[in-house]
A = this chain, B = another copy of it.
Amino acid sequence: MTRVVVVGGDAAGMSAASAAKRARPDLEVIAFERGEYTSYSACGIPYWVAGDVANWSDLIARSPEEHRRRGVDVRLRTEVVGIDPAAGTVTAREPDGSETTVGWDHLVLATGAEPGKLTVPGHDAAGVLSVQRIPDGQAILDAVASGAEQAVVVGAGYIGIEMAEALLRQGLAVTVLDRGAQPMGTLDEDLGVHVRAAMEGEGIAVRTGVEVEAFETTPTGAGGRRVTGVVTGDGTFAADLVVCGLGARPAVGLARDAGLPIGDAGGLRTDDRQRVTGDHPAAGHIWAGGDCVEVHDRIADRYVTVALGTHANRHGRVIGANLAGRDARFPGVIGTAVTKICALEIGRTGLGEQAAADAGFDAVAATVESTTRAGYMPEAGPIRVKLIAERSSGRILGGQIVGRNEGAAKRIDVIATAVWCGLSADELADVDLSYAPPFSPLWDPVTLAAREVAARLG
């Protein structure tokens, strides 16, 4: 019997396990997960903390029991501590501390990412938390329930602003700190400034261009220390709860220890079938997906790391299909993402103006201001759409949106589809997009932006 061993029981790993087992019931699939959960939505944690989602169990897409019923041998609280590609084995530490060695015909690495950590003094004090796994969300909720009043969020990216909203809605005073010039460093600064204004408008204090130097702490009765403030070059911010949203780095320690090659962006490099490339003795038998791998950026034509559930699940499906003997390929990414801070929605895809220049493009950008609905409709909110196009070809390289009220940010998918297809600004301006007063002004803001950047292209 062919045995597949999966390391990591979240999106990529369990998608691979499920897809492989569904297509090839004769495969033996063992999945090792060091934690207690499988297939949960990490992206949902901020909404659980905010109170939108009542129970952590709602975030579980598929429980270990459900996976087992489908024939996947899920082993929880069992951490893989070593990989031997030459022997085709992994060594796992069982819940009781003993170690077992298990052989595999195919190995799927889905070890995820480690949340970025500040190693400044006090970083391990109680009350300094990150947001990656379900226990992290529970710890934050526990801090809130214990009466935390002043939260500092370190990092104003996706997780940072989502947690800022969540904590604000829980009644805490919230300060957000970021090293960049504006919140949401994946947006160009001219759009990031509107994110900042929206955050400040909601009562969130935003401090940018600041570095965290240390955490102030006070002794706890139990002999430990608890955070009381965040020390920066811009002063000290009082805090009884600190949430770090500092992005994530591919968790590749195991792979590196096993001699598997790590790419320039810090993740495992795979081919488009998700096989780990490079010179190693199990070539063609080691697969990897999810936050631990690098993905191909189709526009910049380089490898990047993007910790996102959609990519992880796509990787898993691709790996599972290939394990089942099909020929499935991951097509790469263009960096599409959405989020919101209270009523301000944010979307982005492709290359920003600065990223386009960094990638060597001679690019032209234009931003339009419009409304999400016909201007005379009561729900019409302001929306800004920025498009970036290649000067020589007119091809849309990317787009960014900030706007108020529902329906602003999801328009990024139209731009993403245009970027994916290589449409020029003129062509995008021509597309027959939908119009009715409750949905759009006569000219959809995306059409207006395409027309504006086309005009600048001359």
Contact = CB atoms under 8 A, between A and B. Distances in A.
A338 B434 contact: yes
Size class of the contact patch on chain A: 35 or more
Contacts of A52: 377-378
Nearest to A298: B432
B309 A432 contact: no
Contacts of A439: 338, 340, 345, 409-410
Identical copies of this chain, number:
2
B413 A433 contact: yes
A406 B406 contact: yes
A58 B414 contact: no
B43 A435 contact: yes
B410 A432 contact: no
Contact of A438 (B47, B349, B377, B418): B47
A332 B414 CA distance: 19
A337 B186 CA distance: 33
A428 B430 CA distance: 20
A442 interface: yes
Interface string A429-455: 011111111111011101000000000
A416 B430 contact: no
A313 B435 CA distance: 12
A338 to B, nearest CB: 4
Interface of A: 41, 43-44, 47, 52-53, 58-59, 61, 158, 308-310, 313, 331-340, 345, 347, 349, 374, 376-378, 406-407, 409-414, 416-418, 420-421, 423, 428, 430-440, 442-444, 446
30 contacts: A41-B376, A41-B437, A43-B437, A44-B374, A44-B437, A47-B438, A58-B376, A61-B442, A310-B433, A313-B442, A331-B430, A336-B432, A338-B434, A338-B436, A338-B440, A339-B436, A340-B439, A347-B434, A349-B432, A409-B434, A410-B411, A411-B413, A413-B414, A413-B431, A413-B444, A417-B418, A417-B431, A417-B433, A418-B421, A420-B432
Q: What 3 A-B pairs are tightest by C-beta distance, nearest first? A: A58-B376, A406-B406, A338-B434
